[in-house]
Structure 1
Amino acid sequence: MSDGHSYTLTRTLDAPAAAVYRAWTTPDAYARWAYAAPGSVRMDVRPGGAWQATMVTPDGTEVPLTGSYLEVEENRLLVVGMDVPGRAEPSVMVVELDGDGPKTRIELRQTCDTVEERDMAEQGSTMLLDSLTRFLAEGPTA
């Protein structure tokens, strides 16, 4: 792995760690906040388990994504590998949760090969955290 170009995003969410973890690991919930096409999300949330989702960009373009879970600690840690066409190694995103009662500190970290890739990934991750914050504020749904 190269030294690369990294970013770290941190937020405090108004939801317990278990609710944040469920939002990241339940296909229907994930699809609702993570810009995924309905019915496209599949998750086998365990080390070595695969995931897939078709993301929908603001202009309506569908982007199929695949990857695997590299590390999983319920309500605390997800290390997610994202397949990148033409690369042998996946791009890795670390999602760390630190729950403190009704609030959770979430940290996303990723290292990319280029400044451009890092900037795009950071922008995408910022959009995800904004959407996750809104989703959690809506509260549990049936």
Structure 2
Amino acid sequence: MSAAGEYTYTLTRVLDAPVENVWAAWTQPEHYARWSGAVLPTISLDVRPGGAWSATMATPDGSEFPLTGTYGEVVENERLEVRMDLPGGESTLMAIDLAGEEEKTRIVLSQACANPEQRDMSEQGSGMLLDGLSAYVPTI
């Protein structure tokens, strides 16, 4: 296992929405902007293996910062691998696995990080993302 694989985390939630709505929330800019903190005119999501994505994220204090990356494995309504570019030419991979359970969706988000500090920050950020997603997807 690579060094990045040594510092991993996994978060699991059951969302009160069908899997198709959860997929739409991750893959359609107009939905993504509503829960992720991304600024709508800046969101570009080319959701296919090797496709690029970019977005400017807004923080609660009004700061903005750009994020970019690519997609790895893409299986509609089941799996989305999102690679995010990091400073210094490195990247990190986040996997989102979805499973429909009647009108609910089990989401498992996992990520491998380069060090414990990055893992802790990423896990906190991913928890906040899932909180926003949990609140948004029932409204779709």
TM-score by length of 2: 0.95
Partner of 2:113: 112
Partner of 2:101: 100
**Alignment partner for residue 15 of structure 1, among 9, 17, 22?**
17
Gaps of 5+ in 2: none
Q: Which amino acid aligns with 2:131?
A: D
Counting aligned pairs with the same residue, the percent is 53
Q: Secondary structure at the match of 1:86?
A: helix
Partner of 1:131: 132
**Alignment partner for residue 72 of structure 1, among 64, 71, 74?**
74
**1: CA distance between counterparts of 2:87 and 2:105?**
34
**2: CA distance between counterparts of 1:48 and 1:110?**
18
Offset at residue 87 of structure 1 (A): 2.9
Gaps of 5+ in 1: none
Offset at residue 94 of structure 1 (A): 0.2
CA RMSD of aligned residues (A): 1.0
Q: Which amino acid aligns with 1:29?
A: H
Offset at residue 26 of structure 1 (A): 0.2
Partner of 1:36: 38
**2: CA distance between counterparts of 1:56 and 1:116?**
22
Q: Secondary structure at the match of 1:39?
A: helix
Q: Secondary structure at the match of 1:59?
A: coil
Instruction: Compare the two structures and name the one with the higher helix fraction.
Output: 2
Q: Secondary structure at the match of 2:106?
A: strand
Structure 1 stretches of 4+ moved >6 Å = none
**1: CA distance between counterparts of 2:30 and 2:69?**
18
Paired residues, what number? 138
**Alignment partner for residue 59 of structure 2, among 51, 57, 60?**
57
Q: Which amino acid aligns with 1:85?
A: P
Offset at residue 61 of structure 1 (A): 1.1
Query: Does the CA contact (< 8 Å) of 2:29 and 2:40 recur in 1?
Result: no
**2: CA distance between counterparts of 1:58 and 1:117?**
21
Q: Secondary structure at the match of 2:132?
A: helix
